[in-house]
Amino acid sequence: MKLRETLTLPLSARSAAEMYADPEYTEIRRRTLGATHAESTLEGSPAGTFTVRTELSMPTDRVPDMVRPFVGSSVTIHEEQSWSAAQPDGSREGTMRLDVAGTPAGLTATLRLTSAGEQSSSVEIDGDLVAKIPLLGPRLEKAAIPYVSTVLRAEERSATTYREAAAG
């Protein structure tokens, strides 16, 4: 099922890329999402191309009831974001993959980080959420879309917290 989101970040495109690569941002995301565990690894550098792999363990108290029997009381999400080198204005293109451990569900998406000034940028996410479960897959996908969108949109709150922590 198609999923499209546009996130507005309170950072320049260059600063947003640095944020994604910063391990402190993973901790901020953990707190924002209410995750019980979060860790990330970085390959490359925001000075060029880079990939961030993140593992988040989250309670499932906010997932749709229809989905909960498939995931239990917690879920581990493996996320991989790969980013191209920056354009002169700091914009980049990338890809994202989310896999929900122990389930046949995941999201693949293209990413576009664009500058919207010295203190603002946007991330366009254009993806496909897939639950490979016979007969139930499309219904599970439809039920999960609002939850996945909420998790993605939490990025805006995390970016604000990150900016405030860097300024203070």
Q: What is the pLDDT of residue 116?
A: 92
- Cα 46 to chain centroid distance, Å, stands at 17
Residues 6+ apart with CB under 8 A from 23: 40, 42
Residues 6+ apart with CB under 8 A from 122: 6, 7, 8, 9, 113, 114, 116
Q: Is the pLDDT of residue 34 over 70?
A: yes
Q: What is the pLDDT of residue 152?
A: 86
Read off the pLDDT of each residue in 118-136 and give the average, rounded to a whole number: 86
- Per domain, the residue ranges of the chain are 2-167
Q: Which amino acid is at 144?
A: A
Q: Is the pLDDT of residue 66 over 60?
A: no
Q: Strands 121-131, 105-115: parallel, antiparallel or unpaired by DSSP?
A: antiparallel
Domain 2-167 superfamily per CATH: START domain (3.30.530.20)
Read off the pLDDT of each residue in 142-154 and give the average, rounded to a whole number: 78
Q: Which amino acid is at 152?
A: L
Q: Is the pLDDT of residue 9 over 90?
A: yes
Q: What is the pLDDT of residue 2?
A: 92
Confidence of residue 62 (pLDDT cuts 50, 70, 90): low
C-alpha pair distances (Å), 125 with each of 72, 103, 111, 138: 28, 22, 5, 20
Read off the pLDDT of each residue in 7-31 and give the average, rounded to a whole number: 96
